[in-house]
Amino acid sequence: MLVTGKEILDHAHKNGYAVGAFNVVNMEMLQAVVNAAEEEKSPVFVQTTEGALSYAGIGYLSAMIRYAAEQVKVPVAFHLDHGGSFEVAMKCIRNGWTSVMIDGSHHPLEGNIEVTRRVVDAAHACGVSVEAELGRLGGVEDNISVDEKDAMYTDPEEAKKFVAETEVDYLAIAIGTAHGKYKGIPKLDFDRLATIKNDLKMPIVLHGASGVDEESIKKAIALGVNKINIDTELRCAYTDKNREIFAQQPDLFDLRKYIGPARENVKAKVIEKIRLFGSNGKA
Ligand code: G3H
Ligand code: 13P
Ligand code: ZN
Ligand code: NA
C-alpha cells in the first residue's frame, strides 16, 4: 500500500523504532525490498537517487515502484533520496513519489532553509512529505578532528531554527556516519543525537548506515532515529552473489540464474535490517 513518509515515520517516532529506507535501481532490488517488508509485516521506504533516475528512467521507476507498492499490504513510502533541486523534487511529485528529500546541506544555513521551505510549501500542497538535511556527512576515509567535527556535524541550535522555519517533516542529521564502505569503525556522536531529538521531538533520519555496527544502530534508535538509509550493503549483497556464481560457473549466460539468486540475497539482507531496526510486525 502506497503511503506518505510522514504516515510511517510519525508512528515510528511515537513508538520508538526505526524504518529502513532502501535504495533501488532496478526491478530485482525493488522486489527484494518490497517482498522482505511484506514477509516481515514491516513498513518500508523504497528510495531512488537522481543517479537511479538517470540510470533507469523516471517513468520506469515510477510505474514499477507504484505497482510494487500496490501489490503488498504493508505501508510503502516512495521516496526521492538526496534530491538536489526544487525542480527534481517537483518532477518526482508529478510522477507519483509520496516523499521527497531536498538536500540543501551543501548550502550555508540560509540557503538550505530557503530551498527546503520552497519544497515543503509545494510538496505539502500535494500531500507529499519532505525530508531535509542539516550538517554534512563525512567521507569514508576521513579521520575527523574535533574542530572539523563541530564544523560538519549538525548544530542543535541551528536545527531548531531550521525546523521552525522550514516545517520539514523529518530531518537527516550528521553525527559521524558516511556514505559507502567505512575504512575504520565509525564512531557516532550519541550526545548530539540525544540533544537534537530532545529539542525537536520529530522523526530523525540517519544516512550512511551501511557498515555501522549493530550496537551503534540500536543505540541510535533508542535515542530517536526513525529512518535509516541503507544502500551500499544491498549493492554488496547483489554483486557478491553474482561474483560467487560466476566464480563457480564462468560459462553461465542465462541472466535469470545469477540475477535471481542476487535478488534473494538482497532480500535476506533487507530482512536482517528490518529486524535490527525493530520495524518487523509494525504494519
Ligand atoms: O546517498 C546515496 C547513495 O548511496 C549514492 O547513490 O550512487 O545512486 O547517487 P547514487
Ligand atoms: P550507505 O550507502 O552507507 O548505506 O548510505 C545510504 C544512504 O545514506 C542513502 O541516502
Ligand atoms: Zn544518504
Ligand atoms: Na556507510
Instruction: Tell me the per-residue pLDDT of 3-56, one tens digit each, with 9 for 90 and over.
Output: 999 999 999 999 999 999 999 999 999 999 999 999 999 999 999 999 999 999
Q: Which residue is closest in CA terms to ligand 1's atom 8?
A: 51
Res 145: pLDDT? 76
Whether residue 84 is contained in a domain is answered as: yes
92 belongs to a structural domain:
yes
Report the number of distinct structural domains present in the chain: 1
Give the residue, by CA position, lying nearest to ligand 1 atom 6.
49
Whether the per-residue pLDDT at 138 is higher than 90: the answer is no
Distance, CA of 210 to CA of 106 (rounded, Å)? 22
Give per-residue pLDDT as tens, 67-117: 999 999 999 999 999 999 999 999 999 999 999 999 999 999 999 999 999
What pLDDT is stored for residue 131 in this prediction?
99
Residues belonging to the chain: 283
In a domain, 264, yes or no: yes
Please check whether residue 118 lies inside any domain of the structure: yes
Residue 111 marked ligand-binding: no
Is any ligand 2 atom within 6 A of the Cβ of residue 197? no
| pLDDT score of 157 | 98
Closest-CA residue to 19 (of 127, 91, 99, 93): 99
Query: In the prediction, which pLDDT does 151 show?
Result: 79
Q: Give me the residue label for grid cell 556527512.
A: 137
Whether 131 contacts 112, CB under 8 Å:
no
Find, among 194, 190, 203, 209, the residue nearest to 163 by Cα.
203
Is the minimum distance from the CB of 230 to ligand 2 under 6 angstroms? yes
The answer to whether the CB of 237 falls within 8 A of the CB of 272 is no
| pTM summary value | 0.98
Residues identified as active-site: 81
For residues 116 and 130, give the distance between their C-alpha atoms in angstroms, rounded to a whole number: 9
- For residue 20, being part of any structural domain is answered with yes
Q: What is the rounded average pLDDT for all residues in the chain?
A: 96
Assess if residue 282 is contained within a domain: no
Q: Give mean pLDDT, residues 226-253.
A: 98
Q: Is the CB of 212 under 6 A from ligand 2?
A: no
> Which ligand places an atom closest to the C-alpha of 26?
1
Q: Is residue 283 part of a domain?
A: no
- Provide the domain limits for residue 169: 2-277
Domain harbouring 183, CATH code: 3.20.20.70
Please state the φ and ψ torsions of residue 98, each to the nearest 5 degrees: -110, 0
**Which protein residue has the closest C-alpha to ligand 1 atom 4?**
231
Q: Say if residue 183's pLDDT is above 90.
A: no
